[in-house]
Amino acid sequence: MFDGLQLFAHSIANFATPVTIAYALGACLVGLIIGALPGLTATMGVALMTTLTIALPPNIALLILVCTYVGAIYGGSRTAILLNIPGTPASAASCLDGYALARQGLAGRAMGIATSGSVIGTWIGMLALATLTPVLGEAALKFGAYEFFWLALFGVVISGNLTGDDPLKGWIAGFLGLFVACIGQEGMYAYDRFTFGVHDLSGGISLIPALVGAFGFAEVLTVIKDRPPKIIINAFDTVIPRIQDVTRYWRTVIRSGLIGTGIGIVPGVGEDVAAWTSYAAARRASAEKEKFGKGSIEGLMAAETGDNACVPGSVIPVLTLAVPGSAPAAVLLAAMLIHGVQPGPLIMVNSPQFVYDVVTMMLFASVGILIYGLTLTQLLVKILQVPQTLVMPVVFVLCVVGSFAIASRMFDIYVMLAFGVLGFILRRFNYPMAPLVLGIVLGDLLDKNLRRGLTLSDGDLSPFFTRPISFVMFLLVAGTILMNVPAFSNTVSRLWAGAIAPLRRKSRGA
Amino acid sequence: MEEEKPSPFADLISGGVWLLFAIGIVAGSWTMDRLVHLKVPVYTAPGLVPGLLGISIAIMGLLMIVRAIRAGALAQAHLPAFSIREHWRLLTALAICFAFALGLMGHGLPFWLATAIFIAVFVFVFQFEERRATGTLLRGAAFAAMFGLICGGVIFYVFQEVFLVRLP
């Protein structure tokens, strides 16, 4: 406990230099603008910033990425409140009550609620990041090849299940990602798979160009294909958060923070699910259910706290298992690897200081969004009014530069273009992008660990099902899939209702 | 921003595409060298994982086809009429972006100039209708050129000079 505090204090002392603070504030601003502009997502923002910061020292580069990530998730709320358009998918739940408040002339108050919710959400997640990472890191040391195989599969299955409205399409996207990760030289025997003699494919499909294509170029095409709507911004009052908005709904704030963090820890699920789940939980528990969707302060607070708490939450599995909790966290993981940081079960053994460096980065990011939340409203409103015909070509140039800069290969630009077109088509057919990304990240883990596990057991499949953690993870994967089969889910619901009926009768009798 | 849901027929088509794609993966994995000469056991052969993934995608593609048929995909079977006029924005954006990324990048033209040309053309083309309606085409062209040059210069300076990132 005290070791952790000491490491945290050491990190703060290291980061508290004028240059670092300037980088953090600059990155928060960039993130906020990316998040606020409809069509630009946190994933794309973090991916582009990864290339921009490639020549910087690792700690500074990762600070910039974390600040961009937090800033982008927060920035999306501005557009949700002022325009009823989620700046990022994470802010979709904020549209419901944020825009309703804005229409009542309370846009400023809504932005204040979003600021306080986001900052407190980040702090709750940050606290979990500081306390849970060592614990989970220790638990992760028990993971072997069998468990990592199931973890990779679970990540893709749960991400496919929760990130879209059609699990089957989510799983197809996820498995496509796993297959994409198989292209190129495999890790055991250096054998070229599905390269068709193309030399550049031997190195595999790099994550950053694929991501920049799927989230950046695809978004440019999606935005530009329709004539942009006229932007009408509601008038707003003061944006300074009210303390009573937080104190009155403190239960909702804490619940949403915990839900957001918990969902962040689940591989590949991400901020949008965190926001919706927090919102739904707040509605279920609220004494003012009828206000939800019509300008509920509690609803907006829940959504904003949940999505920002998810950010530090999604970094926890990155650090402990090298498995991302969300799509932007996948880029963060790639950036860590590019900068020579080795996240995974050994992180608390080899570099515990780094974990607290990331906690400090989150702290700096939360202070950054608090400062901008109080001061930058007018500037953001002006930025929102910039026509998309001016923004989109610049975004595409950044996509090209971002793809090229990692390895200075023209081939990566071709990968970006291919994934952009593929991402655009998949989205038109309602396939979610997050499982695809997660699949690309986890493909290598799944491939190596399945074959490594089979080598260890001499081809025997039973350890995949008989080791305790493996068995639990297998049940999770099977349960996630089977719960989408109506006959199975109905039976489970009936059994569950039967099991809790005596308890209900007892509590009624009491 | 809400995307419209694809029809059962569209799902039928995409299910079919996945099935074909998956069959290709399985075939590729099956015929892949099993490295027997290196005494590699079959359960660690390079084609094992892609093959299993291919089988999984094939099953999901089949499920999608069955689901689409049960939702009435065959009754609504017709290919949507594709009109270039309706999709001109998308096709133009694709053409300009590909021309920039494949034609202008890495062929000797300085990055800032290639970027300036791309941005200017993009802005001018997508503001053309509006500018023509308001009779400000010339001003629009001048604005697009100026905007392109400023963006090209700023992106070049920030990436190459400030952050020392190599540009195409």
B54 touches chain A (CB under 8 A): yes
Amino acid residing at A284: R
B56 touches chain A (CB under 8 A): yes
pLDDT at res. B2: 44
pLDDT at res. B1: 42
Q: Name the residue facing B122 among A171, A393, A455 (closest C-beta).
A: A393
Contacts of B28 in chain A (CB under 8 A): 194
Contacts of A171 in chain B (CB under 8 A): 60
Q: Residue A48: how many CA atoms within 13 Å on its side-chain side? A: 27
Nearest CA in chain B to A84: B1
pLDDT at res. A93: 87
Contacts of B101 in chain A (CB under 8 A): 400, 413, 416-417
B82 touches chain A (CB under 8 A): no
Contacts of A390 in chain B (CB under 8 A): 123, 147
- Asked if the model's pLDDT at residue B81 lies above 80, the reply is no
- Asked if the model's pLDDT at residue B5 lies above 60, the reply is yes
pLDDT at res. A510: 56
**CA pair distance A220, B136, nearest whole angstrom:** 26
The DSSP bridge partners found for residue A193 are A184
Q: Name the residue facing B155 among A55, A401, A428 (closest C-beta).
A: A401
Each residue's pLDDT, cut to its tens digit, for chain A (510 residues) gives: 668 888 999 999 999 999 999 999 999 999 999 988 877 889 989 998 998 898 899 999 999 999 999 999 999 898 888 888 787 888 888 888 988 888 888 888 888 999 999 999 999 999 999 999 999 988 889 999 999 999 999 999 998 988 878 999 999 999 999 999 999 999 899 999 999 999 999 999 988 899 889 988 998 999 898 877 666 666 666 777 778 888 889 999 999 999 999 999 998 788 989 999 999 999 999 988 888 988 899 999 999 999 999 999 999 999 999 999 998 999 999 999 999 998 999 888 888 999 999 999 999 999 999 999 888 777 777 787 888 899 999 999 999 998 998 888 899 999 999 999 999 999 999 999 889 988 998 999 999 999 999 999 999 999 999 999 999 999 999 999 999 888 888 898 888 888 887 777 776 665
A231 touches chain B (CB under 8 A): no
Prediction ipTM score: 0.93
Question: Which residues touch B57 (CB under 8 Å, ≥6 apart)?
Answer: A172, A175, A176, A179, B18, B21, B22, B25
**CA pair distance A216, B37, nearest whole angstrom:** 45
Instruction: Give the B window 117-136 contacts with A, CB below 8 Å.
Output: 118-119, 122-123, 126-127
pLDDT at res. A502: 79
Tokens of B167: 């540009």
A225 touches chain B (CB under 8 A): yes
Amino acid residing at B157: Y
Contact call for residues B9 and B78 (beta carbons, < 8 A)? yes
Interchain contact, A429 vs B6, CB within 8 Å = yes
Contact call for residues B140 and B131 (beta carbons, < 8 A)? yes
B84 touches chain A (CB under 8 A): no
Average pLDDT of the residues in B17-35: 96
Using a 10 angstrom Cβ sphere, with 0-12 exposed, 13-18 middle and 19 or more buried, the burial of residue B38 is: exposed
The DSSP bridge partners found for residue B23 are none
pLDDT at res. A63: 96
pLDDT at res. B3: 52
Residue with tokens 């090849």: A145
A406 touches chain B (CB under 8 A): no
A22 touches chain B (CB under 8 A): no
B93 touches chain A (CB under 8 A): yes
Backbone angles phi, psi at A192, to 5 degrees: -75, 120
Question: Which residues touch A39 (CB under 8 Å, ≥6 apart)?
Answer: A219, A220, A222, A223, A388, A391, A392, A395
Q: Name the residue facing B168 among A56, A178, A400 (closest C-beta).
A: A400
**CA pair distance A170, A404, nearest whole angstrom:** 29
Distance to chain B for A460, nearest Cα, Å? 9
B3 touches chain A (CB under 8 A): yes
**CA pair distance A128, A122, nearest whole angstrom:** 10
Interchain contact, A175 vs B60, CB within 8 Å = yes
pLDDT at res. B67: 95
**CA pair distance A233, A85, nearest whole angstrom:** 11
Interchain contact, B43 vs A455, CB within 8 Å = yes
Residue with tokens 């040059």: B149
Give, as one character, the DSSP assignment of residue B1: -
Measured from the Cβ of residue A4, the count of other Cβ atoms closer than 10 Å reads: 16
Q: Name the residue facing B151 among A176, A179, A394 (closest C-beta).
A: A394
